Amino acid sequence: MENPKTYTIVVVGATVVGKSTLISAMENYLKWPKLEDAAKHLNKLEIRIPVQFTVTRKTGQSQVVSAGFADDKIQKNENFNNSGESVTQKPKVHLFKYGNDTVRIIDTPGLADTRGTDQDEINLKLIQKMAKNQEQIHGICIFIKSNDSKLTPQFEMTVRQLLSVFPKSALNNVFFFFTHCVGTYFGIGDVMNPLKELQKKYEESHGSTFSLEWNKMHCVDSESFRYLVCRKQNVEYSTRSEADFYYAWDKSAEEISTFFEIVKTIQPIPANKIEASRKLAKWTDAMKMKKPFIKPGQKAAYDHALECLKFMTKRHTLVLNKPELKTNIEFLSKNEFCEAIDEFLNVAEDGGLTLQKCKELVKILEDE
């Protein structure tokens, strides 16, 4: 028997897409692959993250259903007061078992928050800090509603902002989870075409892109989980037939299990590469700012070193300001990069320390 392992999954996406509810549902899907088994154990239903939603009875009356609010500390991390604001206020780790292994699901604040770009920037920094503190990350799960017929410029920027936290190699660890799939009979729905357009744009801007192969896309739904939450509280939940809930639970459980089996085979993203890509992008910007202060005798060495630095930053990061990294260099080995940096370091009076650090970062990122 293999030693138990831990798999870390980061869950990201726009606000109100259903991330937090699905995380609670996910644990139950793994625990009970069939709804009929879960229905026999309502008192053991796992609600990791507080849920709150409105149900409409056949009479037309509405009722707010809440669950999982026993812990005041948990309540402080959730916000159900404003539609469009992220429900999750800061990243939070949730641990649960998958066979003999442990799954670490990190729920993050949603982007495209109605409080504006300033709040998005705060949320992005929280996600960045969280990622830096992980030993390694196996999967980056981007949640999207399956019935979205188009992806707005705001959503595109959301994806770009999220992925800019990680090195370019992390594109292989990107998964897409399509939520609210019971309405599309667990097909991907209208969102596929705009997602292909985004994939193409990413290839054009970064020279690499995320995969949309079957093993990187998963259709899920949490409505059957809500159904059991209501059933436990003797609340009528009649949006669909009971057969639909059984179907949705079984399909979602199957998708979640398939996802984790795939995650077990994938190369994780090491924490040192996440931090190295962030610092490399930051220090490349710092070196560009030094150009007006470089002395004439150092200019040729500086220009060449900066071109090499831009090439490596473009190769290894997913920075947003890609046009600023334009360079005529088409290929550069790690040794050639180090030689260019050393050439400038031999004559540098300013910027040498930053470039020395950049050289060490590139060594980390180039290491297979």
| Segment 294-305, tens digit of pLDDT | 888 889 999 999
Same domain, yes or no, for 319 and 202? no
Whether residue 1 lies inside any domain: the answer is: no
pLDDT of residue 112: 59
Same domain, yes or no, for 282 and 254? no
Question: Which residues partner with 93 through β-bridges?
Answer: 106
Question: Are β-strands 269-270 and 217-219 bridged in parallel, bridged antiparallel, or unpaired?
Answer: unpaired
Same domain, yes or no, for 254 and 286? no
Query: Do 18 and 181 form a contact (C-beta atoms < 8 A)?
Result: no
Whether residue 142 lies inside any domain: the answer is: yes
CA dist 180 and 50 (Å) reads 19
CA dist 178 and 22 (Å) reads 11
For the record, the structure tokens of 85 come out as: 């604001």
Whether residue 42 lies inside any domain: the answer is: yes
pLDDT of residue 270: 93
For the record, the structure tokens of 228 come out as: 């059991």
For the record, the structure tokens of 326 come out as: 């334009």
Same domain, yes or no, for 280 and 247? no
* HSE-CB of 26 using CA atoms within 13 angstroms: 31
Query: Do 322 and 254 form a contact (C-beta atoms < 8 A)?
Result: no
Q: Which amino acid, residue 89?
A: Q
Residue ranges in the chain whose pLDDT is less than 50: 72-74, 80, 82-86
**Neighbour-count burial of 223, counting CB atoms closer than 10 A to its CB (0-12 exposed, 13-18 middle, 19+ buried):** buried
Among 6, 20, 178, which Cα is nearest to 92's?
A: 20
Query: Do 76 and 127 form a contact (C-beta atoms < 8 A)?
Result: no
Tell me, what CATH number does 60's domain have?
3.40.50.300
Same domain, yes or no, for 19 and 84? yes
Last residue of one domain, picked from the residues 267, 290, 306: 267
- End-to-end, the C-alpha distance of the chain in Å comes to 28
Same domain, yes or no, for 300 and 316? yes
For the record, the structure tokens of 361 come out as: 């970062």
E strand or H helix that includes residue 67: strand 62-67
Same domain, yes or no, for 251 and 282? no
* HSE-CB of 8 using CA atoms within 13 angstroms: 16
Q: Say how many residues make up the chain.
A: 368
* Residue 220 vs residues 138, 207, 346, 365: alpha-carbon distances, Å: 20, 30, 57, 34
Last residue of one domain, picked from the residues 267, 283, 301: 267
Same domain, yes or no, for 335 and 260? no
Range of the domain at 58: 6-267
CA dist 127 and 91 (Å) reads 7
DSSP per-residue letters across 247-306: HHHHHHHHHHHHHHHHHTTSPPEEHHHHHHHHHHHHHHHHHHHTGGG--GGGHHHHHHHH
pTM: 0.87
Q: Torsion-angle region of residue 28: left (phi > 0), alpha (psi -120 to 50) or beta?
A: alpha
Same domain, yes or no, for 58 and 102? yes
Same domain, yes or no, for 122 and 53? yes
Same domain, yes or no, for 212 and 327? no
Last residue of one domain, picked from the residues 245, 267, 289: 267
3-class secondary structure, 114 = coil
* Residue 125 vs residues 91, 106, 296, 319: alpha-carbon distances, Å: 10, 15, 39, 14
According to DSSP, residue 88 is labeled B
Give the count of domains, the chain. Answer: 2
Same domain, yes or no, for 42 and 148? yes
Query: Do 212 and 176 form a contact (C-beta atoms < 8 A)?
Result: yes
Interacting residues of 279 by C-beta distance below 8 A, sequence separation 6+:
357, 361
